[in-house]
Amino acid sequence: MTQLLISVKNVQEALLALHAGADVIDLKDPDIGALGALDVETTAQIVQTIDGRVIVSATVGEDHASINALCQRIQARADSGVDIIKIAVSDIGYEDDFFGELRKLTSDGIKIVAVFFGDEKINFALLPSLRLAGFYGAMLDTKNKQKTLLACQLKENIHHFVAECSKNGLISGLAGSLKAQHIDCLMPFKPTFIGMRGGVCENNMRKSHLNSAKIQETKNMLLKHNILAGKRLNILRSTLHS
């Protein structure tokens, strides 16, 4: 079943997204980049407010001076009670001790998701390394928010990404200026979650306020697809056992 991830920037938006039906509340500051990180204090406030009612994820920013600096940011969010921590695939990920250092965090139970930018070439060869390092998942997003993921990548590549995540035991996410109208195209790929921000904001502007009605509309579309997929699976099982 594909779940709905909604990115929020404060406590008020977190509560709005929760009541509108979001399955995952994602903490992000849209004013400072594609994966802009909220400060630790705001992060802790949102985690306390959500109080375990849904999953909470958080980004840690895109640029880090060192692997140690990245790990400190990850640990700070984990200490705040965040369930899943998202990090950008960057040059740091190609340093010799990267996976060894991240493995220390995942071995402590920290769930880390690597975010690949769809407006860059996708290095599918990294997925097995993520698995071996104990990563929880991987997702596709976009750095340039003027283009959607579907405008940046062929459908075949997106499908392949989700399939390779599944093959490597990783949850998969799709995001990148997506709107409700993209649900029909993406759901056949069966990602673990679909993430949105701008597409569920006023005037489709990611720096604007979230719109509850848009979130509810998107969630309802996901539910319909999930129900249909479940019915098809039941029919297939019945056929195989008849």
The helix or strand, by DSSP H or E, that contains position 157, with its residue range, turns out to be helix 155-167
- CA 221, 223, 224, 226 torsion-angle sign: positive
The helix or strand, by DSSP H or E, that contains position 85, with its residue range, turns out to be strand 84-88
99 φ, ψ (degrees, to nearest 5): -65, -30
- Tell me if residue 86 is catalytic: yes
- Tell me if residue 28 is catalytic: yes
- What tokens were used for 200? 């569920």
92 φ, ψ (degrees, to nearest 5): -60, -35
Catalytic annotation, pick one of 86, 145, 214, 219:
86
- What is the spatial distance between Cα 116 and Cα 3, in angstroms, rounded to a whole number? 19
Please name every residue paired with 139 in a beta bridge, in sequence order, or none if there are none.
Answer: 115, 173
Q: Would strands 55-59 and 84-88 be described as parallel, antiparallel, or unpaired?
A: parallel
Q: Which residue, among 138, 141, 142, has the nearest Cα to 111 in the 3D structure?
A: 138
Which residues are CB-contacts of 122 (< 8 A; sequence separation ≥ 6)? Answer: 116, 140, 153, 157, 161
Count the helices and strands in the chain (H runs, E runs): 9, 8
Residues recognised as catalytic: 28, 86
